[in-house]
Chain A
């Protein structure tokens, strides 16, 4: 039991009369990479929003890192160790890479409250180390995010989540808007995270990517978890059948 990073029990979210998420039971173990798949409106993003505290669940329980948690907001979730790469990357366009990496948790030389002097050298060094660790390629750390390609931005956002010894990383369609090479770069970062033993939840539509990267696939359909399969026990056709509803009723199947 102790190697379970995240566990949800009967996690439910209603938007008025819409049952966006119903009784989702989910587990993630240490070092495990899990993909969440499903059609649009299947409840993937709703599920992520309940875990990261962006929204408050209607019912159910969440355990994270061995404790039952009730995050009031995304900042609490982050402080607890859940780092999320959002679809709309939360980067400040006019700041450079180190400033974005350390936004809201700057290293300081002298603490003078809001006027604390920044330790720019240390932040720059830590940024270089983080980028090397995650194998991110950025030509110039001092150029602002505005001048970077979509892939580089995504890499910076991912490097940020990986910089801070997080206990869980969640990525919501990290390669949806990227080209082939940029997608490959992001996927390499995810592989590096796997090697480092960092657990990950990957929301993705990309079947090839999912089978390349993760250990386990969870399929959502109409707000319910309809499949929970180890990669080696399934294939693309099988997953598509679950996504489209051709195959159903095996929600209790527990893998891993």
Chain B
């Protein structure tokens, strides 16, 4: 074998000079952002953003703040995992927020108790059928079924009618929101069983988010499914010529995105102990933003779940940071918009520079 160091065929290769992974830059941005809030806090408020400054609490870090940072992004983060694989595959999913709304309503109506404080549950949808106090597996399966159906419809539309993903999922976005409102004629659905309420209790959303993130990071890196996602997003014609069944793969990708949106719906309605037709509005855009900030390329083929998780943390830090600096929520929205555009501009610039260097 004519192999020198890492190179093939006599070419030498310096492993130390390879470019940083894109996730590293995103992580750096996160660190800088935290540092900025820390600095502003110290200078203007005399308080620390990250570290514990209260004497009656032990520990180096302000654990409460750290928990809130990740807790408040974990539900949208679950959606962002699904959206990330869709974008890597060269698509887009605008329907996830509405799928959350519709799924929350439908699933919650199968998770209600019969009596509240000794009186019949006034909100129970199916009390006439006796469908109350059902085991937790029932609403869970109903939810996953809803997400799966919505995702399959998205996937079939995109794969077989060849309409752009933007249009297919826009249609689903509007329709699913309609279903969410129609399901209980706009009434909130409340009083879930204790076992259903346990799903989103405390730090459970974080646990679910992180577990799913790890699972999908592994799937995207080590399985055929993941490899084909990157291949299709990178060059669909090449993938087709290589014998990959593009249509089947796309259906699967959107189905998984639908299921993840449904899981987010369960966690959200369980955490809030109620489901409302307006749940999940704008979540699809927040999820896309997390992915984009995390280095997932909207043109497909590039990005990772790790990047999206860091992107979601950047989101969380911004929200917490603005609360910490006692700035209005309006500013958060404005800054979020700037950061989304900035992240894409930076990514484009970095890609161009790298292309010239190659």
Contacts and interface: CB of A to CB of B under 8 A. Distances in A.
Contacts of B224: 106, 108, 114-116, 118
Contacts of B227: 95, 99, 103, 106, 118
Nearest to B242: A104
Contact of B225 (A90, A115, A135, A148): A115
A14 to B, nearest CB: 25
Contact of B11 (A79, A112, A137): A137
B302 A138 contact: no
Nearest to A111: B224
A104 B243 contact: yes
B42 interface: no
Scoring A92, A95, A128, A132 by chain B CB atoms within 10 A of each residue's CB, the highest score goes to A92
Interface stretch (B62-70, B117-125, B231-239, B270-278): B231-239
A141 B10 CA distance: 13
Contacts of A95: 227, 230-231, 234
A104 B244 CA distance: 5
A143 B20 CA distance: 12
A114 B231 contact: no
Nearest to B12: A139
A99 to B, nearest CB: 6
Contacts of A136: 8-9
B9 A131 contact: yes
Contact of B241 (A74, A79, A116, A141): A74
B6 A140 contact: yes
A93 B355 contact: no
Interface in B212-234: 219, 222-225, 227-228, 230-231, 233-234
B1 A128 contact: yes
Interface in A87-130: 88-95, 99, 103-106, 108, 112, 114-118, 120, 128
B256 to A, nearest CB: 10
B358 A99 contact: no
Contact of A149 (B252, B302, B358): B358
For the side of the interface on A, what is the size category?
35 or more
Interface string B142-184: 0000000000000000000000000000000000000000000
B218 to A, nearest CB: 9
B2 interface: yes
B18 interface: yes
B358 A146 contact: yes
A109 to B, nearest CB: 9
Nearest to A140: B13
A147 interface: yes
Main secondary structure of the interface of A (DSSP, over half): loop
B351 to A, nearest CB: 8
A103 B244 contact: yes
Given A138-B7, A139-B7, A140-B6, A94 B238 contact: no
B58 interface: no
Nearest to A141: B8
B243 A105 contact: yes
Nearest to A185: B9
A75 interface: yes
B295 to A, nearest CB: 12
A131 B8 contact: yes
B82 interface: no
Contacts of A112: 223
B86 to A, nearest CB: 15
Nearest to B252: A114
A78 interface: yes
A86 interface: yes
Nearest to B3: A128
Interface string A219-243: 0000000000000000000000000
B223 A92 contact: no
Nearest to A109: B222
A137 B9 CA distance: 5
A16 B11 CA distance: 51
Interface in A48-91: 74-75, 78-79, 86, 88-91
B336 interface: no
Given A104-B239, A128-B3, 8 more contacts: A90-B238, A91-B235, A92-B238, A95-B227, A115-B223, A115-B225, A116-B223, A118-B223
Interface of B: 1-3, 6-13, 15, 18, 219, 222-225, 227-228, 230-231, 233-235, 237-239, 241-244, 249, 252, 301-302, 354-355, 358
Give the top 10 A-B pairs by smallest Cβ distance, nearest first.
A104-B242, A94-B301, A137-B9, A104-B243, A94-B234, A92-B234, A90-B238, A103-B242, A139-B13, A90-B241
29 contacts: A75-B241, A75-B243, A86-B241, A88-B237, A89-B238, A90-B235, A91-B235, A94-B230, A94-B301, A94-B302, A99-B230, A103-B238, A103-B239, A103-B242, A105-B243, A112-B223, A115-B223, A115-B225, A117-B223, A118-B223, A132-B2, A132-B3, A132-B8, A132-B9, A137-B7, A141-B6, A142-B18, A147-B358, A149-B358
Interface of A: 74-75, 78-79, 86, 88-95, 99, 103-106, 108, 112, 114-118, 120, 128, 131-132, 135-143, 146-149
